[in-house]
Amino acid sequence: MTSKFFWNVLSTSSLLLTSLNAQSNNILDSITKDMDRFNNVATITKQNEDYQPYIISVFNGKELETLGVSNLKESLQLVPGVDITTDNFNNQTPIFRGSNALAYGQTKLFIDDILVNNLFFDSYSEYLGLPIEMIKRIEVVRGPGSKTNGVNAYAGSIHVITYAEDFKDFESKDKMIFKYGSYDYRMSGFIQKFKTENLTATVDFYYQKDNKKLKAGPDGYSQGSMSSTDLGKDNTTLSQNGDAPVWNEDYSLSLNLKYKDFTLKGRSLNHTQGSAYGINLSLPQNEDRVKLPSYYLELGYDKEISNFYLDIKAGVKYDTFDSKAKLGPNGVDFIDYEKFVNSNNTIVNNVIFPNGIYGEHLAKQRTLYQSSYLTYKGIDNHTITSGYRFLKEETTDMVSKLSNWATGDAALVDYTETFPFFNKNAERNIKIFSLQDEFQFNKKLNFIYGFNYETTSYEDAGFEPRISMVYQKDLENIFKAIYSRSHRNPSWQEMFTANNAARVGSTDLKPEKVDALEFSYIKKFSTDTYLQTNIFYLQNKDQIYNSATDPLYRNVVDTDIYGLELEYTGHLSSDDKLYLNYTYLTGTSTITDTGERSSLTNVAHHLAKGYYIYNLNNNLSLSGIAKYVGEKKRVLSDTRNKVDAYTTIDTTLNYKNHTYNYDIAFSIKNIFDEHVIYPSTPKTYSQDYTQEGRTFLVTLRKEF
Partner 1 sequence: MKKILFLYLTLINVAFGYHYDDIVLKAQASIFPKIILLDKKIQNKLIDGKIVYTIVYNKSDYNTALSIEKFINKNFQGSLDKYNYKVNLVEFEKFSIQTQASAVYVLNLSEHIEKIAKVASEKGIISFSYDINNLKKGLMFSLVIEKSTVLYLKKEILFATKIEFVDALLQMVRFVEADYIDKNNFDYQNKLNSRNYYAKYFMNQKK
Binding site for partner 1 (CB under 8 A): 6, 9-10, 12-13, 16-17, 20, 23-25, 27-28, 30-32, 34-36, 38-39, 41-42, 45, 47-48, 50-52, 169-170, 442-444, 446, 470, 472, 474-476, 526-528, 572-578, 612, 614-618, 621, 624, 626, 647, 649, 651, 658, 671-672
Residue whose CB is less far from partner 1, 414 or 528: 528
Residue whose CB is less far from partner 1, 535 or 626: 626
Min separation Cβ 76 and partner 1, Å: 21
Instruction: Give the integer Cα–Cα distance in Å for 506 and 492.
Output: 10
Per the CB < 8 A criterion, the answer to whether 517 and 482 are in contact is: yes
Min separation Cβ 444 and partner 1, Å: 6
Min separation Cβ 404 and partner 1, Å: 55
Min separation Cβ 692 and partner 1, Å: 19
Min separation Cβ 6 and partner 1, Å: 6
Alpha-carbon distance values, 39 to 31, 48, 71, 306, 523 (Å): 12, 9, 30, 19, 22
Min separation Cβ 683 and partner 1, Å: 35
Q: Angle at Cα 353 formed by Cα 347 and Cα 356, nearest 5°?
A: 135
Secondary structure string (H, E, C) spanning 405-454: CCCCCCCEEECCCCCCCECCCCEEEEEEEEEEEEEECCCCEEEEEEEEEE
Instruction: Give the integer Cα–Cα distance in Å for 4 and 363.
Output: 86
Instruction: Give the integer Cα–Cα distance in Å for 678 and 309.
Output: 46
Residue whose CB is less far from partner 1, 332 or 608: 608
Residue whose CB is less far from partner 1, 510 or 656: 656
Instruction: Give the integer Cα–Cα distance in Å for 696 and 702.
Output: 20
Residue whose CB is less far from partner 1, 53 or 81: 53
Residue whose CB is less far from partner 1, 45 or 493: 45
Instruction: Give the integer Cα–Cα distance in Å for 673 and 506.
Output: 43
Run of H or E residues at 327: strand 308-328
Per the CB < 8 A criterion, the answer to whether 569 and 528 are in contact is: yes
Contacts of residue 47, defined as CB under 8 A and 6 or more positions apart, other chains included, come to 41
Residue whose CB is less far from partner 1, 127 or 612: 612
Min separation Cβ 30 and partner 1, Å: 6
Per the CB < 8 A criterion, the answer to whether 122 and 104 are in contact is: yes
Cis geometry, peptide bond prior to residue 218 (ω within 30 degrees of 0): yes
Per the CB < 8 A criterion, the answer to whether 534 and 55 are in contact is: yes
Per the CB < 8 A criterion, the answer to whether 76 and 58 are in contact is: no
Per the CB < 8 A criterion, the answer to whether 454 and 461 are in contact is: yes
Cβ contacts of 20-24, under 8 Å, gap ≥ 24? none
Instruction: Give the integer Cα–Cα distance in Å for 550 and 530.
Output: 48
Instruction: Give the integer Cα–Cα distance in Å for 32 and 35.
Output: 5
Q: Are strands 156-162 and 107-111 parallel, antiparallel or unpaired?
A: parallel
Residue whose CB is less far from partner 1, 443 or 641: 443
Per the CB < 8 A criterion, the answer to whether 478 and 471 are in contact is: yes
Residue whose CB is less far from partner 1, 186 or 571: 571
Min separation Cβ 695 and partner 1, Å: 17
Residue whose CB is less far from partner 1, 1 or 16: 16
Instruction: Give the integer Cα–Cα distance in Å for 300 and 296.
Output: 13
Min separation Cβ 131 and partner 1, Å: 22
Min separation Cβ 139 and partner 1, Å: 15
Rounded to 5 degrees, what are φ and ψ at 91? -85, 85
Residue whose CB is less far from partner 1, 379 or 616: 616
Residue whose CB is less far from partner 1, 395 or 472: 472
Min separation Cβ 672 and partner 1, Å: 6
Dihedral of CA 133/135/141/144: which sign? negative
Instruction: Give the integer Cα–Cα distance in Å for 232 and 215.
Output: 31
Question: Cβ of 522: how many Cβ atoms within 10 Å?
Answer: 20
Instruction: Give the integer Cα–Cα distance in Å for 679 and 674.
Output: 16
Residue whose CB is less far from partner 1, 170 or 308: 170
Residue whose CB is less far from partner 1, 146 or 621: 621
Question: Cβ of 702: how many Cβ atoms within 10 Å?
Answer: 17
Min separation Cβ 626 and partner 1, Å: 7
Residue whose CB is less far from partner 1, 25 or 407: 25
Min separation Cβ 680 and partner 1, Å: 27
Min separation Cβ 311 and partner 1, Å: 21
Min separation Cβ 527 and partner 1, Å: 5
Instruction: Give the integer Cα–Cα distance in Å for 182 and 180.
Output: 7
